[in-house]
Amino acid sequence: MRKRIFLLIIKGTSLSLIVLFILTGCLALGIRDSYKRLKYGVPRGVYLIDIPLEKKLPQEVRAHVLSLAQSSFIRPRNAFLDPLSGQMLPPVYGRKIDVEATIELVMNSEPGSVLQPVYIPLDPEITMDLYQNIRHKRGSFATGYGDGGRGKNIRLAAGQINNYVLASGEIFSFNKATMPRDAEHGYELAPIIVGDAVVPGYGGGVCQVSTTLYNAVRRAGLEIVERYPHSLPIDYVAPGMDATVSDYLDFKFRNDTEKMIMIKATAHGYLLVVEIWE
């Protein structure tokens, strides 16, 4: 009996020692963490906007700054000239948080500081001034056209490339600017050339727009990147002066100048006029 009581006392003592050891360890860890935060953490009373960061360690500050950077990011937007109305939409200036600089600012701040993040401004590539400085006509070309579905398609495609702006080095794609050319997007059935035949097709007539643009680009002295002739003769330009387009054939040119250029295209009174401005 005495032996059993003795063993129970030993076991109880051992359990108490284990609990005491765990508590002592936790206390030591807590003291160590508190010391670490006092020595290496953010000074007391420091806020980043309205976020309290007192005693936060660098990795914790980084997490807060990254979250704030994600929620406060503003993407820049270029100034935009509506091709149909001619209305100018102003640019939007963006910004993002400089994460590393903001962390350094917080960690080296004075006690009681209320800080703002360090922002990096993000400027749009195209501003209203760039549009307003396009004043010189570099080249132009005109062709006549008729009425009906073909005439409507020409006016629609001309409107889609009107006021189109290209930065220096940028490549213009006629298909990218005007497709899809189908009924859903306002195009009508009109004669198109397919091989050696003329058949009805949606967007018939847009080749006159690409051809007129091609000749304006030639007169402006810009680099032709991609161009294909029709498989049959056409009557609105001389032989060899055309540029056909289709779902798989495109007309492309490059703005190989150091300036921004703009395409102007109008189709009124059965006269299609395309101009290149810089």
The pLDDT score that the predictor gives to residue 150 is 93
Assign 3-class secondary structure to the chain. CHHHHHHHHHHHHHHHHHHHHHHHHHHHHHHHHHHHHHHHCCCCCCEECCEECCCCCHHHHHHHHHHHHHHHCECCECCEECCCCCCEECCECEEEECHHHHHHHHHCCCCCCEECCCEEEECCCCCHHHHHCCCCEEEEEEEECCCHHHHHHHHHHHHHHCCEEECCCCEEEHHHHHCCCCHHHCCCEEEEEECCEEEEEECCCHHHHHHHHHHHHHHHCCEEEECCCCCCCCCCCCCCCCCCCCCCCCCEEECCCCCCEEEEEEEECCEEEEEEEC
Query: Residues 167-224: pLDDT tens digits?
Result: 899 999 999 999 999 999 999 988 788 777 777 778 889 999 999 999 999 999 999 9
Quick one: pLDDT at residue 12? 56
For residue 172, the model assigns a pLDDT of 98
- pTM across the whole model: 0.66
Instruction: Return the pLDDT at 102.
Output: 96
Q: Name the stretches of the chain with pLDDT < 50.
A: 6-8, 17, 19-20, 23
User: So what's the pLDDT on residue 1?
Assistant: 58
